Structures are given as structure tokens and as C-alpha cells.
Structure 1
Amino acid sequence: MTRSDQPGQGRSPCIVRHHIAGGCEHGGGIGRLAGYVIQADPAPYRHRVQDTRGMRFRPLRSGVMLAGAILAMIGDRIAGRDRLQHLHVAGRGSTARKLILSQVARLLGQGHVLHLHDFDYAADLARRPQWQQAAIRRMFRRAQRVIVLGGRDQATVRDLLGVAPDRITVLRNCVPDPHPQASAPSGGPCRIVFLGQLGARKGVPELLSALAQLRDLPWVATLAGDGPLDDIRAQVADLGLAGRVQIPGWIDQARARALCDEGDILVLPSHAEGMAMAVIEGLAHRMAVVTTRVGAHDEVLTHDRTCLFVPVGDADALADTLARLIADPALRQRLADAGRALFLSRMEIGGYVARLSDLHGDLAARPLPKRELA
């Protein structure tokens, strides 16, 4: 392969501006993914992250942040046409902001990509009034490219939003390789890790109920993420688990990596997902993964080979599955090794960045059709 044939080589530099609520630091899984891309992507592709909302929605501050994103787009237009706006979109307020930003990009004659991350965008669309649905369909149809996480979202974008199939790209989430070393069971208590928002959608009530059924087994757990921390800690205390379940709150990337390095089981009993970053982190860190058949999970994972699936909302089944893993280190190791192999073959960030860079480069090099500028 020559230099000019390599992904991202042989093209003029392209500035890609990622628009993310909360930015890299407080943008949840979307922000973490963007941070990984920035770390992994070589020159000439240069990424900039634009916070469109702030840490959380506050009308005045969030309005100022959105105005800042618009000014950044104007600055990109003044600086040159080798600029691409990458709009990361989910439901609720995220869609409202991206409706504004996509229209600004069109008015400025700037290429833009929509990257859909929502856990159930079809349901979010159905709850909106007809005029909003029409505006959202126009936004998606006018994007140069729409990136989705899996087959369910691909069908939503194609069938409900009317995007032409040749404008849809399936690009599953990925993470960097943390280079975990294979290790023998420590002999201590099994270490259970949860990463995500501490709320009902992520299955935290069922997880706490399941852990309460496992008092006689050797385990400790860390549930890391934002949410109603005082309420969760109170529930942990009421269940008699205060000495075994840690609730550190939101943790940064370095602390999350250290936590995963020490973990044996990654559990995420979500009710809805796109493609959970936490699950991919579990595979990468050679943990046995326990999760649910939501989003694109069962497009990638195989029950009893690379993970153990549990039914959504079933605390008893979750308890039984965790008990099985806690009592069987050999099963944990088998699942962890197979999950690690899956990660290396399909979910490591290098291949993701190569595909994303090619997509950005192709779009930046391609003049916008007149109908896109109209």
C-alpha cells in the first residue's frame, strides 16, 4: 500500500468540527467517543469539539453555548471551504439544537454530517407534532451523510426519515485498546463494574435488586456515573449493601480505565441503547459482559460466547446470571477471552478512525450539489 492509498492520506487537510452537548468531558458516551477519535486520528485530519449546551441544560447558559457554535461555524466559513460540520444528534433537546445548526450550515454552504446516537429515535420522533417531524425529516434528508450505530437505526433513518440508502453509513462505536494483560483469577471477591447514568433506563433499579439477592456470594461492585447520587446511595444503604457497593459518581476517562482494569464483570442491564460504550469498554478490558438485547447489542454480541444476555427489567434473571459468573471463574475467563478477541477484530478504534477519516475526506473534497446550497 502506498502512502497515497492509505486511509486519510493524499488529500488536503480537513477541519472537522464535532458538535456535542457537553463536549468531550461531559458529553457522555458521545463525548468519550469523540475524545477517543481525537486521540487516535493522525494528521492531516484535525478534529475540534464544540460544546452546544454545557454540562447540563440551563436556558441562558445553553443558549450562549449554542450561539457560540453558530459563531464557530461562521468562523469556519470565513476560514475556508475545507471545513466539515459533524453534528452528533440524539432525541429531545439535542434534535432541536441540531435543527438550528444544520440549517446554519446549509445557509453558509458548509458540508455537514448527522451522526445518530439515540437509544430509540423512532419513539422520540413519534412523540413530536407533525410540523416537527417534517422539519426533522428535512434535516436528515439534506445531510451529506447520516451515520448510524446499527441496523435498527439504519431502518429508522431509511424508512421513517426517508434518507436515501447511499447516504447512510453504519459505523459502530469503538474504543482504544487498553492493552489488558490476561490474568489468573485473583482469589479475592469478584469485582463487578457498572458504567453509565444511574437511572431506570440503564437498569440500575434491577441491578441493585439483583445484588441484594447475592449477599452470600463473594463480590464487590462499583456503579460509576452521574444521576441522583444521594438517592442511589440511600437505596444501597437501605438494602444493606453500603459496605460492598461503591457509588463514586461521574468519573473521568483515566479513572474509568483504572476501574475497568481491575474489573471481572461489566454489567449493563439497560432498557434501551444504541451501542453502549460501556459494553465495548468491558470487552476491551477483558471482562465478562452481562447486558440486554437492546439497540445494536445482539447484532454484535453472541449469548454464551462473547456475553451473557439477560431479559430487560428482570432482576431475578440478572441475579441468577451474576451468581453463575461469580461462582464460576472459568466461565468468566472464557467469556472475557472471547469478548476480547471480538473487540480486537471489530471494535478497536484504529479501524473506526480510518473509516471516519475516509468519509470526512471524501465529503470535504466533494463540492456541495446546488440543491444542497439552495
Structure 2
Amino acid sequence: MTMAPPRVLMVGTALGGRGGIASVVEVLRADGLFEREGVAYVATHAEGRRLHKLDRALRGLWRAARACLGAGASPAIVHVHAGSHASFLRKSLVLLMARMGGACTVFHLHGGGFRRYALAEAGPLLRRWIRHTLEASSRVIALSPGWAACVRECAPRARVVVVPNPVRPTSAAAGARAEAGRILFLGRLDPAKGVDELLQACAALAARHPGLRLVLGGSGDLDWVRGRAAELGIAGRVETPGWLDAAARDAQLARAWLFCLPSHAEGLPMSVLEAMAAGTPVVATRVGGIPEALADGELGLLVPPRDAAALADAIERLLDDARLRARLARAARAAAERHYAAGVVCGTLAALYAQLLDEKTQSRKR
């Protein structure tokens, strides 16, 4: 018996992995989008050694090719989650196969480095391929209006829609369990995430705030982090618990006095949305889609990237002002529930799928 093709073939990184795309897809799956919309998932990337990554990429591309170009009916929609470099190249190949098979295509852009990749790092031929891939897609999903403008800069004829990242609800706000002076960071532990500026800011504040403690949750170069903390004289104030699963992450958010993400570049980081949803006050940099999600002074505090002094000032404002912390936390939590809740985002994607299928039906009638 031949199985019917999936209504939607979604392609991304391995479920259960680390990073923003895996987190986004897991929220969509947990909210029931896969069951409601007939989504089959194929992973073309997984963490691990180079040979393991290559094996997963080849297996995933083969599965996508069979689904899109096999003897049976192809999926009605192929929805890929992509970033820059190898991620883009893999997903652009999937989209090419999907178009050959007659499917509607959705390019879902993640990652804060795409503008630089597309406009500065790519050579002339790759720039043409990037533009073609974006403009040939039935829709390009951008995470914020600012990122939609970036896509149009790269590909003026791309049909862009804004769909923010989803966040799952939390049972209660974090404030009652927060520990005074506890600052939480979640993300990859490297300079591009602003870890060095965060360490410098905490070192500048340590003398005035004896209870200050910095928790750096994430994978990366722990030796560099610990060595840098020692150089700055705050080794005893820094915890490095490593990568945190969802339960451990939520527990850390509940304990945090504030959350800080001083990245140099971002898309729309899941960690900021998760902190907002948990009711943990946020300090972040004014990059990517963050300013559109976290209005400065209303939902959180924003600072320029690579500015340790400004970062220290913003952190100190929250350390010293309980009313400000409470006001920002309440407003951010309400905004997360209103705009970024999984049910809201899944509803937007379902409406997009329905629109694409209707357009395809109308096109066949012409």
C-alpha cells in the first residue's frame, strides 16, 4: 500500500539539538502544528563530528529528493528553515528540488549573519543564487519587519511575510523565586554573543554589588570563559553549567534577577523571547529583530553592541531598581503571550499554508 505524501515537508536541523532553529521547530511540533497540518520533518543537519554532519546532510538531502522528485505525489508545500553558509546551500538545493516537483516553497530565514553573508561575503555567482532562491520561493518568512527589509535588499522581488519565532507559555512569572544579583546568559559561549563584554560589565559592577553572580548557560569554549573571568577577577562569581535542556533553562530563568544577551548580531533570539515569557527582565543589544520585540524602556533595556560600559550601566539600573524590574517583566510577559505564543505563531503558519494552497489551486484553474 502506497502512503500518501505529506501535505507539508519541513526541512531543518535535527530535533532535540541545540540552537535557535531546533528550538523553534520543537515549539511548533509541541504545539501540534505537525499533526494539524500534516507535516513530515526531514533533518539535513545534526551536531557532532564532521563525518556525522556530512552523513546527516546526505541522508536528509536524499530523503528530500525522494519526497520531492520520487515516483509518487510530491508534498504540496516544502518549508525549509535556513541560516547562512552551508545551511543556506543545503536548503537552496531542497527548494530547487521542491520547485521541480511542483510544490509551493517557503524559505524561513534564521540567523543574524545572513545580511553580511548575502551582501558582503558571497561572491557574484553566489549572490545571484541567493537572490534567485529568495525570489523563486513562494514565500520568504522573515522574523521581524527589519529582517523583511533586509530580505528585500538582497532580493527585491521576494514575497516576504513576517512571522516571529514562537515561545511556549510558562506556568508562572519568575519574579517571586528570583535570587538577588543573579544574571543569566543563555547562548553559545563565544565573543560574537557578547560574552566578553558581559564579563567586563560584571567585573566593573562587582565592587558595588557584592551579591552579583553571572550564570553563563551554553556550550562553547569554557576554558576561555573561565580564563577571562579569572583575568577580570570575577572567577568566583561566574557559573558555567554548560548547555541547558528546557527544564534546566526554565529553572535558571526562574532564579535569575535579570537576563542578558549582548550579542553582536541576531535574528530574533529564542532566549530573549523565553526570558520575556518567563517574566525575567531583559537587557539586550540593539541588533537584528531584538529592538522590534523588546521596546527599549517599555519591555526591556537595549544597549549598543560591543559596548561594555553601556551594558554595565543598563545592568546596574535593573540591579538597583526593583520597580523598573517588575514593570519591564510584567510588560514583556504580556507582550510574549500576545505576539509570540506558540498558538499565535502556529495559527499564522497555518493561514500561510492555506493561502499558498489556494493560490496553487487558482493558478491551475487559469
TM-score for both structures, normalised by structure 2 = 0.89
Q: 1:95 to 1:312 in 2, by over 3 A?
A: same
Q: What one-letter code is carried by the residue in structure 2 that aligns with 1:225?
A: G
**SS at structure 1 position matched to 2:287:** coil
> Is this contact kept in 1: 2:24–2:166, CA < 8 A?
yes
Instruction: Give the whole-Å Cα distance in 1 for the aligned partners of 2:256 and 2:270.
Output: 16
Distance 1:194 1:53, change over 3 A: same
Distance 2:142 2:295 in 1: 21
Aligned to 1:129, which of 119, 123, 132? Answer: 123
Quick one: which amino acid aligns to residue 326 of structure 2?
Answer: Q
- Relative distance call for 1:276 and 1:333 in structure 2 (3 A) is same
- 1:228 has 2:221 as partner: yes
CA shift in 2, pair 1:368/1:145, >3 Å: farther
Asked if 2 retains the 8 angstrom alpha-carbon contact of 1:13 and 1:45, the reply is no
CA distance in 2, matches of 1:73, 1:51: 9
User: In structure 1, how many angstroms separate the alpha carbons of the residues matched to 2:128 and 2:361?
Assistant: 23
Cα deviation, residue 214, structure 1: 1.9
Distance 1:211 1:168, change over 3 A: same
Q: Which runs of 5+ in 1 are unaligned?
A: 1-11
1:119 to 88, 102, 112: 112
Mapped pair 1:176 → 2:163: no
Structure 2 residue aligned with 1:40: 31
Q: Deviations over 1:157-214 (max 9, x none)?
A: 22321334xx21101112011122464476x532211111111221110000111112
Picking from 97, 115, 139, the partner of 1:104 is 97
Q: Are 1:149 and 2:143 counterparts?
A: yes
Other-structure match for 2:198: 207
Cα distance 1:13–1:254, how it changes in 2: closer, same or farther (>3 A)?
Answer: farther
Distance 1:124 1:365, change over 3 A: same
Once the two structures are overlaid, the 10-residue window that deviates more, 81-90 or 191-200, is 81-90
**Which piece of structure 1 moves more, 120-129 or 46-55?**
46-55
Q: Is structure 2 residue 186 aligned with structure 1 residue 195?
A: yes
Partner of 2:11: 19
Deviations 1:7-58 (A, max 9, x none): xxxxx9954333223x232250111010000001254324343221220571
Matched, 1:329 2:322: yes
Q: What is the rounded CA distance, in whole Å, between the counterparts of 1:369 and 1:185 in structure 2?
A: 55
Is the contact made by 1:193 and 1:265 (CA closer than 8 Å) also made in structure 2?
yes
Deviations 1:116-139 (A, max 9, x none): 113142221122111111111111
Moved more, 112-121 or 203-212: 112-121
State the distance in 2 between where 1:204 and 1:344 align.
29
Moved more, 356-365 or 305-314: 356-365
Correspondence 1:278-357 to 2 at 5 A: 278-357=271-350
**1:81-126 deviation per Cα after TM superposition (whole angstroms, max 9, x unaligned):** 4443211111121112122222222233333210011314222112
Task: Give the Cα–Cα distance (whole angstroms) in 1 for the partners of residues 48 and 357 of structure 2.
Answer: 32
Tell me: CA distance 1:255–1:149, structure 2 relative to 1, closer, same or farther (3 Å): same
Q: C-alpha separation between the residues in 1 aligned to 2:175 and 2:112? A: 34
- Any idea what the Cα deviations from partners look like across 1:229-288, whole Å, max 9, x if unmatched? 221122223333233211112122221122112222010111111111111111101011
2:6–2:40 contact (8 Å) kept in structure 1: no
TM-score by length of 1: 0.87
8 Å CA contact 1:174–1:348 kept in 2: the answer is yes
Distance between the aligned counterparts of 1:254 and 1:86, measured in 2? 28
1:63 positional shift = 2.9
Matched with 1:5 is none
SS at match of 2:15: helix
Superposed CA RMSD in Å reads 2.4
User: How many Å separate the matches in 2 of 1:368 and 1:104?
Assistant: 20
Q: Compared with structure 1, are the counterparts of its residues 48 and 192 closer, same or farther at alpha carbon in structure 2 (3 Å cutoff)?
A: farther
Q: Which has the higher contact order (CA 8 A, sep 6+)?
A: 1
